[in-house]
Structure 1
Amino acid sequence: MPATPAMYNTIALVVRPNTAGIEDSVRDVLAFLHEGGYSVVFDTDTADHLNMPEIPAMSAQGIGEKCDCAIVMGGDGTMLGIARQLAPFEVPLIGINQGRLGFMTDIPRDGMLPVLARILAGTHKAERRTLLEGRVLREGKAIHVGLAVNDVVVARGAGSGMVELRVDVDDHFMYNQRSDGLIVSTPTGSTAYALSAGGPLLHPTLGGIVMVPIAPHALSNRPIVLPDSSEIVIEINRGRDITVNFDMQTFASLMPQDRIHIRRSPHAMTFLHPEGWSYYNTLREKLHWNEYPSTDGRI
């Protein structure tokens, strides 16, 4: 393995908890990094779930202040969680897929060490992605603030009726909408919930924000792509058991007249991909665009 580049001296390792058999892969990565002369730390959640007290643990803020990059071993959910926390610190992220889909954790576990060696040696493709920030205002005061890598979702509760929303963009009235909710998505999130609700795919380098209604009452309410300079304000006109979710991981309960202000975050995240990585290859693999009907009559 080549000598440690000056740009990567201390590396954080973030591991999805409660994953059967992951300890062996973690030990392989740790041995590989220590042999290469890197200092390695766990995030506190990883340290709590793995019985490896010899590895120091740091909070997300400590990682942001002390580490040169972070390796995430898990699925896209694990990546989403740490990416939101590290975005203000500009810590680049490397994803090893231990999950199912892996849009953001794109290095397969099989053969991961040679790929890591090349990335840490500087042979990689760096890609920056935007985030959204949202503020929930009640009577003019912020009651919740959150970041989203994928999306901010306003949605009704499972047992309640449709929610009625008013949407303004850049101080211009856009529409009143009756629906099950509204998804406001980054280009990264366009392959997630927004896609399942009928939204378009956006290349991650595009400067856009996608708004996708969830089961709208009026079929003329269609998805729309806005400039990423837009500020979107969603006001709750009517409804029960309404929440706003940031990447489906943090939420606030909403009341009528609450307003959610959403805009592009000043922070961005950087993914380090293997050399030769292609967004189109990822789409083709994850969305099964390269599959053909079988010749034996089975679907």
Structure 2
Amino acid sequence: MLSPSPNSTNKAFKRVALVGKFQADGIEERLQDLAKLVTGLGCEVFLEAATAQHLGFTEFPIKTAEDFAGAIDLVVVLGGDGTMLGIGRQLAGKNVPLVGINMGRLGYMTDIPIQSVQTILPQIIAGEYEADTRTLLDAVVLRKDKEITRALALNDVVVNRSGISGMVELAVRVNGSFMYNQRSDGLIVSTPTGSTAYALSAGGPILHPRVAGILLVPIAPHSLSNRPIVLPEDSVTVIEVIDGREVIVNFDMQSQTDLQSGDKIEVRQSNKTITFLHPCSHSDYKTLREKLHWNEYPSTF
């Protein structure tokens, strides 16, 4: 969606929350500059509670992510894709859009360079942006048919071995139909967003963010015939742990649950989404080209 450009006295977003990667060098000064910029645009600025707590900021009102819905119009994330993953999962389904500003390395989700924020962020706050809706995965871990964990994932749900233990054996069913037994280092269930993360390093394809599908990617499978596959968006995938020591399931690599033989992980597309806002000049292909160092055609192409 491309919003019309309003005049400078109008704002598409009036209440703006700032989220920062508080472990990053120089984050305090960067956030102060960002708050000054947003305040100068006539917006009310809030700090996300964990960011404020870790950095000791007290000059702005504080809100937890759980309280953003209905109280915050826009969230500006300063950091990397990991920071965006964390806050994105918390805001799923809350109808609060996010803007990502990277502090050095271009991200797939944090795609606005810090050097360009003085120009681009005022345009977005004025209403000049492209909206990009992303799906999430809803995963449930079942032990003897009882739910022991439920989590959302914006990138992926990964069942794998931990430490130096051997291969795991997994049985995979999709919509109740048996797909295969697989011996491997693990299995990745990925959204299109996550197709450029762990799934890519494991040999999976890149899915455009607007592709409606769920990606299954084996991790170092014992049989080379176990290949990545893209499933329909309404698929329900059940992964059963048949055998293996120290097996875990990760959700966006930010939380995990230890598994036992017989445990099942049921994964489906969540009914919750999040929305990223990009500058009007945003191109997914440009981001891929820069991140993956693809060769460029001459400008006359």
Asked if 1:259 is matched to 2:264, the reply is: yes
Opposite residue 204 of structure 1, the aligned amino acid is P
Give unpaired runs (5+ residues) of structure 1. 293-299
Which residue of 1 is the match for residue 68 of structure 2? Answer: 63
Q: CA deviation at 1:3?
A: 2.5
Q: Is residue 2:295 matched to residue 1:284? A: no
Please say if 1:45 is aligned against 2:38: no
d(CA) in 2 for partners of 1:187 and 1:137?
Answer: 25
CA contact (8 A) 2:159 2:249 kept: yes
Q: What's the TM-score, normalizing by structure 1?
A: 0.94
Match of 1:32 in 2: 37
State the Cα deviation string for residues 159-203 of structure 1 (Å, max 9, x = none): 211101000000100000000000000001000000000000000
1:156 aligns with: 161
1:40 to partner: Cα distance: 1.1
Pairs aligned (count): 291
Q: Provide the residue aligned with 1:295 in structure 2.
A: none
Residues of 2 paired with 1:55 and 1:173: CA distance?
A: 54
Q: TM-score, normalised by structure 2?
A: 0.94
Counterpart amino acid of 1:150?
N
Q: Which runs of 4+ in 1 moved over 6 A?
A: none
Unaligned 5+ segments in structure 2 are 1-6
Q: Secondary structure at the match of 1:67?
A: coil
Alpha-carbon distance in 1 for matches of 2:116, 2:212: 34
**Deviation digits for residues 53-86 of structure 1 (CA, Å, limit 9, x no counterpart):** 0112111111234101100000000000000000
TM-superposed CA distance for 1:290, in Å, is 2.8
Aligned-pair identity (%):
55
SS state at 1:31 partner: helix
Q: Give the AA of the match of 2:214.
A: I
Choose which of 211, 216, 225 in structure 1 pairs with 2:221: 216
- The one of 73, 81, 84 aligned to 1:79: 84
Q: How does 1:194-213 map to 2 (within 5 A)?
A: 194-213=199-218
What's the RMSD between the two structures over aligned residues?
1.4
1:2 and 2:24 are equivalent in the alignment: no
Asked if 1:269 corresponds to 2:274, the answer is yes
Secondary structure class of the residue paired with 1:45: helix
Q: 1:291 Cα shift?
A: 6.6
**Alignment match of 1:237 (pick from 222, 236, 242):** 242
Whole-Å Cα distance in 2 between the matches of residues 170 and 223 of structure 1? 17
- Does the aligned pair in 1 maintain the 2:104–2:113 contact within 8 Å? no
Deviation at 1:106, TM superposition (A): 0.4
Equivalent residue, structure 2, for 1:113: 118
Residues 208-244 of structure 1: CA deviation (Å, up to 9, x unaligned): 1110000101111000011111000000011111110
Letter in 1 for 2:36: A
